Structure 1
């Protein structure tokens, strides 16, 4: 399956991590031992490609770390990463003991925001990580849509579509996170009827290498078939209602389908009820 994933939270963020922190803040550049640097437990990026990490480690062995790791100071003379966890991990693989850092002041909310922005800038987040990160900004930090739009550079409709993939079943989300199907495929899957087996359809996308357009067309065809079946069932039930109303002389309501349901017979007096019973007997 060819990769056709979206570009993540936003390729529109053009600044580097030393620019998207408060410009009025004094910046301290120094070095720190790797053992004194802690990963950000709220890092929106959950998966790190081992092959790419090894490539970066080899580059660091030759050229060193060209861009310092952005950190904030925490308890016990330790530092927490704001931006640059991938470089920190690669530095360990490269056998470094110290790395250059840039020290900033940032609270939890700002740290999470900046972590997103760094991953966004490098398009490092997969679509599920991206959606979960935006969801956390909204639910945990009460970010407005306007603020998220300002951070990401995305239009409101784009943000809505990014979040929509979280409506998919967990197993389908996993396929998107693993880049086996794209976000576009995921959104196309949401157009299928509610009782559709979305995981089965997702597996079919992978096996047959279906494009997003092909999935959308499949969804439309499925809806047409369902609509056609519904019309046929309605016609059948209507015929039954006419037969019963003619035989019993009363108003008939049928709830359900041609295979399962219930029949309601209306009457407005004891006389009418006895008349209906007589017809049935």
Structure 2
């Protein structure tokens, strides 16, 4: 693969405002000032990089873009052994390049230590808003631990308010299940701060369930916590989840389920969980399943025989 294919039109420079716009040049020395084409097999993700999750749909969009236009920004790497490289910034581009079938990718080598590489990757991801709240909080904590930064020093280095760093670190006090809700983006950092305002673990779990099932806004949660504290009553006892009428979202889902049940001739259940949910269609035999399948695709056509 030639350079023109990987980087788009020949002669085009499309590096954008990435790391070079964030990090002062004297801080990190370049091994070379220009990118070069490197076999994709020699570049691997840094296992310590702050971003751990990648959205499949977004990645597929990038794959399509790379197939059509090539990679418009080199992957920033550092040396790893004799002829290998670790990604400093651009793991998503590397993943998409592999899925797009590229054999070579443009890389820009930087001479940085492991901790400096982590800081670069964190800044790049923060700039692009690629990290979920827990990834961001873990990255802040690692920088504090490895570099002996105070929250104030870290905030200054990252161009953040100290309160932003402090609020992010508080999220690590959530238990694993509630952290996972943040990772899955079922709840927001604002919801999580409401959960942290509740000391009782059982009541915290009940409120977390309400947030997910009833799609409560952050303002709704703040009101529940505020009124509970004002009345000196546990938040979940103030408005028990099972005593509250079904949300508008769930009522809408129930209506859709009834319509689908009529069309499919089978029991249908839709459970809303915030902006996500689960659709369940029951069948009692393979013949029932075949009938549901035919109704869904709208054409009876030939079908493979069910297993005996």
Tell me which of 17, 23, 26 is aligned to 2:25. Answer: 23
Trace 1:31-42 onto structure 2 (pairs within 5 A).
Answer: 31-42=37-48
Q: 1:53 to 1:170 in 2, by over 3 A?
A: same
Q: 1:37 to 1:192 in 2, by over 3 A?
A: same
Kept in 1, the 8 Å contact 2:171–2:179? The answer is: yes
Per the normalisation by structure 1, the TM-score is 0.72
Q: Which 4+ residue blocks in structure 1 deviate beyond 6 angstroms? A: none
Q: Deviations over 1:46-83 (max 9, x none)?
A: 10111111110110011100000000111031001000
Aligned counterparts of 1:42 and 1:159: Cα–Cα separation in 2: 20
Structure 1 position 170 matched with structure 2 position 176: yes
Per the normalisation by structure 2, the TM-score is 0.66
Structure 1 position 67 matched with structure 2 position 73: yes
Q: Which residue of 2 aligns with 1:136?
A: 142
Which one has the largest radius of gyration?
1
Kept in 2, the 8 Å contact 1:57–1:90? The answer is: yes
Q: 1:184 to 1:147 in 2, by over 3 A?
A: same
Does the residue aligned with 1:154 lie in a helix, a strand or coil? coil
Unaligned regions of 5+ residues in structure 1, if any? Answer: 1-13, 229-281
Q: Deviations over 1:15-44 (max 9, x none)?
A: 412333451323342111110001011110
Q: Which residue of 2 aligns with 1:106?
A: 112
Larger RCO (CA within 8 A; separation ≥ 6): 1
How many aligned residue pairs are there? Answer: 215
Unaligned regions of 5+ residues in structure 2, if any? Answer: 1-15, 235-308
Trace 1:1-281 onto structure 2 (pairs within 5 A).
Answer: 15-24=17-26, 25-26=29-30, 27-226=33-232
Kept in 2, the 8 Å contact 1:82–1:112? The answer is: yes
